[in-house]
Amino acid sequence: MRALTLPSLTVIGASEVAAEVDSNRPECLEIVRAAYLAHDAGDSSNPHSSFLRFPHQSRSRIISLPAYLGGDFDVAGNKWIASFPDNTGHGIPRASATLILNDCDTGYPFACLESSIISATRTAASAVLGAELLLGARRARKVGIVGTGLIAQHVAKFLRDLGWEIDGFRLFDLNPAAAERFGATLKEQSEAEVVTAQRVEEAFADCDLVVLTTVAGEPHLHDPGLLAHGPVVLHLSLRDFAPEVVLAAQNFTDDVDHAVRERTSLHLAEQKTGNRDFLNGTVGDLLHGRVARAPGRAAVFSPFGLGVLDLAVGKWVYDRVAAAGKGVRVDDFFAGVEG
């Protein structure tokens, strides 16, 4: 065991996080894959997230995601992520987050990272990994996107940087101007056809991959016919589908106990049926070949978003930044601590 000493604390801001992610999304995806495999092997601890809500602001919340990830990562930590939808009306982003990384020998924090980018990155990477596992290739003839905010933008960047073959996009947002702006960006990055849909149904029709990244708190999609043509759906916002839509598809998630709670669509389906038989497996099951998508049937991937993924991406960013001598290092942050 190495000698135990008080660590320094390295603070890593958004620009440095973004630089590392933007420069190597393929490696970032492999980091997320490795984290899922470690979690599937039981080499992790991922308690349920804690939700802090406010009696005077029903749409706002702050979530705490503590976790430990073993294997080559061997790191603990906590993501503290706030979602205040009214922020956008004041010209600032809805979400803000920090990630604390803790040394597993002393328990001391050794890094504090801006984490809204890390959170969006791990969400997008896990989504695109799920899409590849369920579609069987990095190929989607048409991609429908419902909700064109930050998460959708990160998903699109992973699809681009991982070399996905895509012929067209169908975009829908309750704010048509947001969809138009996102579409203009896609046109700059790709030769794929980009169409802004007038109705949400148009983002499903004739699309073999559909990405849901809304801020919906209750189901707003009730028609199982949306899935009649058998698409793969990345249900990242977790609460868009009514139970009857969930029950019309094969369903996969990252961790069953985490995903079937807090009134997610999967949770509502459980309440409706009284069981979890509609769940077909996890990412770990797909990675190991223990389960597979049924050909021609709709498949919905609803990842709850595990804290171990934040740790994996955050540790990867920290290692790269520290190796380059970047970040703000505070050597005496814990100096004078007693007891």
Share of the chain above pLDDT 70, in %: 98
pLDDT for res 3: 74
267-287 residue pLDDT tens: 999 999 999 999 999 999 999
Residue 294 has pLDDT above 80, yes or no: yes
Q: What's the CA gap between 101 and 289, in Å, rounded?
A: 32
CB of 230 closer than 8 Å to CB of 298: yes
4-8, 150-154, 189-193, 271-275: the lowest-pLDDT one: 4-8
pLDDT for res 1: 55
pLDDT for res 335: 77
Categorize the per-residue pLDDT at 2 as very low, low, confident or very high, splitting at 50, 70 and 90: low
Q: What's the CA gap between 139 and 31, in Å, rounded?
A: 21
For the segment 214-228, the average pLDDT, to the nearest whole number, is: 95
Q: What does the mean pLDDT of the chain come to?
A: 95
Secondary structure letter of residue 324 according to DSSP: T
For the segment 285-294, the average pLDDT, to the nearest whole number, is: 97
51-92 residue pLDDT tens: 899 999 888 999 999 999 999 999 999 999 998 988 988 999
Instruction: Tell me how many degrees the CA angle 219-222-223 measures, rounded to the nearest 5.
Output: 155
For the segment 236-253, the average pLDDT, to the nearest whole number, is: 98
Kindly give the residue spans of alpha helices, DSSP state H, lying in 190-306.
Answer: 243-246, 256-259, 265-273, 283-288
99-124 residue pLDDT tens: 999 999 999 999 999 999 999 999 99
Q: Is 98 helix (H, G, I), strand (E, B) or coil?
A: strand
Categorize the per-residue pLDDT at 336 as very low, low, confident or very high, splitting at 50, 70 and 90: low
Residue that the structure tokens 């990630």 belong to: 99
For the segment 250-265, the average pLDDT, to the nearest whole number, is: 95
9-29 residue pLDDT tens: 999 999 999 999 999 999 999
57-61, 171-175, 313-317: the lowest-pLDDT one: 57-61
Categorize the per-residue pLDDT at 93 as very low, low, confident or very high, splitting at 50, 70 and 90: confident
Backbone angles phi, psi at 56, to 5 degrees: -100, 0
